[in-house]
Every structure is written in C-alpha cells, then in structure tokens.
Amino acid sequence: MSQTLEAGATARARAHSNIALVKYWGKNDAVLNTPAVGSISITLDALYTDTRVTFRAGLATDELWLNGCRHDATKASRVLDLVRYSRGATLCAIVESTNNFPTGAGLASSASGFAALAVAATGAAGLTPTARELSILARHGSGSAARSIFGGFAEMHAGSAADGLDSYAEQLLPGADWPLAILVAITAHGAKPINSTVGMGATAVSSPFYLAWLATAPTDLADMRAAIAAFDFVRVGELAEYNCLKLHALMLTTRPALIYWNAATVAVMHAVRDLRASGIAAYFTIDAGPQVKVLCLPTDASRVHAALSTVGGVLEVRQSALGPDAYRLD
Ligand code: DP6
C-alpha cells in the first residue's frame, strides 16, 4: 500500500445475525479460530449489529464500546491486528457497536458483531477485500461471524490448511430464492453464563460424545446441503432439529454440564412439537443460550407466532425473514 492509514479514518457497517441449522461446536486451532466441523446457517434480517470503526492517534489500545458500555476488546483486536498488518499500520481504533437485540444471550451477537467489524475495519482502512477474505477476517473474531458476511443460506468450511485460509463461509442460496420465516422466542434477557468459546473448549476435553460429533458432522452437512438444494422444507427442519439436539446432548454431557435451557426453552420445544402434531410444519433450533428459534414457512408465521406467544415464560417473540449480506452503511 502506498498511502499510510490516516488517523481519523472511519467507516460504518451493518451485519445480520445468523442461526446455524447444522452447528459449529469445537475448534481445530484456537489461535486461528478455525472450527473443528463445518456448519450451515441462515442469516436473519430482524437481528443486526451496526458498527463504526475509527482509527485514532494517541490510543494505547483498541477500545470496544457495545451499546454504550466499554467491553474487553481482545477479540476485536485480533481482527483489527490483521487489518493493521495489511496496511503496515499501528494506529489503534475505537469500535462503537450497537445491537438491536439482547447481547450474549444466544442470539448470535458475536456473529453479527464480528462480521460488522470486519466490514467496517477494512472499509476504514481503505481495503477492498473479497467476500471470502472478509469471511476469514470475521472468523478470527468469532467462528459463526464468518457466516454473517453472507445473506440467505451460508456454509462454513472447517478447512484443514495450516494457515486457516481454507476455513471460510460462502453463500449456498440467497434468501430471496427461498423465503422462510424464523420466529425467535426470547425467554431471558440476561447474558449467558458460559460463552461459546469456553463452553466448546470444555466439551472437547470432557464430553464422551465429542468424537461422535466430529465423525457425524460431514453427513449432517451433506444432508442439509441436499435438502436446501431440493427446497425440501420438512427435511431442512427435521435435520436442523436433530442437529440442535445432538449439540445439546454434547453440552449436557460436558463437565461441568452446560445447561443453556430454562423452563420456557423446554416449553417452547414442546409447543413446536404440538404445532407439528396439528399439521403446521415448524421446527426449533437452539444455540448456546435459552432462546428458541422456530423455522416455518411464511404462510404459517402468524399462527406459529401466536402459539409461541402464549407459552409461559416467553417474554417476546420476534419474527424475521432471511437477511442480506453484510454491508457498508456510509
Ligand atoms: C452454538 O461463533 O460464538 O452458536 O468462534 O468461539 O466465538 P467462537 O464461537 P461462536 O460459537 C457459535 C456456537 C453456536 C453454533 C453456531 O453458531 O454454529
């Protein structure tokens, strides 16, 4: 690069949260943050993070401000370090992020957050990365963030290269090609007790099912890829629910156990099964938190929304369609 990175260089970006239909849990390499398994997700238009990155002179460290409060910037600095490295720059940055949904409660705020950071930081630095490069950059902040660079359906490849350059996500299908509805049943607003990074590290060393999880992931991914290619909603839903429960079997058999569910989480799972028994194709998936995301066809969304809203302990139900790629706001 001929120009130096100027103090005051700034850019804003928006990235949407995503939920995995085939989940990532476990790492190949903790430093590169490469996942031990691939994953497939959908991006949600209703949940997003807006992030501004400003490189400043005179800062001793990067600063991360999330919804107006200062947070530990260690993971953000991993992403910013790579951007600084490509510009041969040393300036620290202020990262100002806002989520339009509860943070750290299993709604994938790290996914949207680090995807928005990757787009804003490269934008502020005057770089023009490809979508794949952005995905790799976002992965250094959070594995699931690699998928939030893309709208619609995305697949993350675990990869095996020593430099992590084959560990990135790509789009399987734009959201407009297959409109689906996602109802997010929010059952708690607090941050989760054990974050995903710590939780998956504990699972890898203590769950007797971890090796089975690794061994069966390629089949789940191939089946999900085929179900999406065939626009087979029932198959997508069944596989998503199965893979979610397999993940939670791993979590429950971690020592100490990772129990992310509360009573309302379980009640929503039963409500979804009751909906299916009454003829509505609805399927749940749950990440490392107590919220339940329910997949259905747009024509069934209002009935599913009404059913979930009456479940005891459900605080709020948010409806979402599939979201777009991450993008610059300025
Ligand atoms: C259960 O992407 O938050 O949501 O890479 O350590 O930041 P780190 O983990 P993170 O883990 C996501 C776990 C999950 C499943 C998924 O999104 O695939």
Using one digit for the tens of pLDDT, what is the confidence trace for 202-232?
999 999 999 999 999 999 999 999 999 999 9
- Whether residue 281 contacts residue 237, with contact meaning beta carbons closer than 8 Å, is answered with yes
Using one digit for the tens of pLDDT, what is the confidence trace for 147-162?
999 999 999 999 999 9
Distance 315 CA to ligand 1 centre (A): 24
Distance CA 123, CA 15 (A): 14
Q: Does residue 7 carry a pLDDT above 50?
A: yes
What's the pLDDT score for residue 101?
Answer: 78
Question: If you take atom 11 of ligand 1, which residue's CA is the nearest one?
Answer: 196
Using one digit for the tens of pLDDT, what is the confidence trace for 52-100?
999 999 999 999 999 999 999 999 999 999 999 999 999 999 999 999 8
Pocket test for ligand 1, best of 157, 167, 196, 197 (most atoms within 8 A of CB): 196
Using one digit for the tens of pLDDT, what is the confidence trace for 108-123?
679 999 999 999 999 9
Mean pLDDT value of segment 3-19: 92
Distance 25 CA to ligand 1 centre (A): 6
Distance 24 CA to ligand 1 centre (A): 6
Distance CA 148, CA 171 (A): 10
Q: What is the largest CA-CA distance in the chain?
A: 65
Q: Does residue 27 carry a pLDDT above 80?
A: yes
- Per-residue pLDDT band for 2 (boundaries 50, 70, 90) equals very low
Q: Number of helices (H) and strands (E) in the chain: give both, helices first.
A: 8, 14
Distance 239 CA to ligand 1 centre (A): 19
Mean pLDDT value of segment 259-276: 97
- Per-residue pLDDT band for 128 (boundaries 50, 70, 90) equals very high
| Tokens at 194, concatenated | 């054990």
> Taking all residues of the chain, what is their mean pLDDT, rounded to a whole number?
95
Distance 303 CA to ligand 1 centre (A): 30
Distance CA 308, CA 146 (A): 30
Which residues surround ligand 1 with Cβ inside 6 Å?
20, 23-25, 33, 39, 110, 142-144, 196-197, 287-288
**Closest by CA position to 94, among listed 137, 60, 44:** 60
Going from the C-alpha of 303 to that of each of 35, 186, 273, 298, 329, the distances in angstroms are: 37, 17, 14, 10, 35
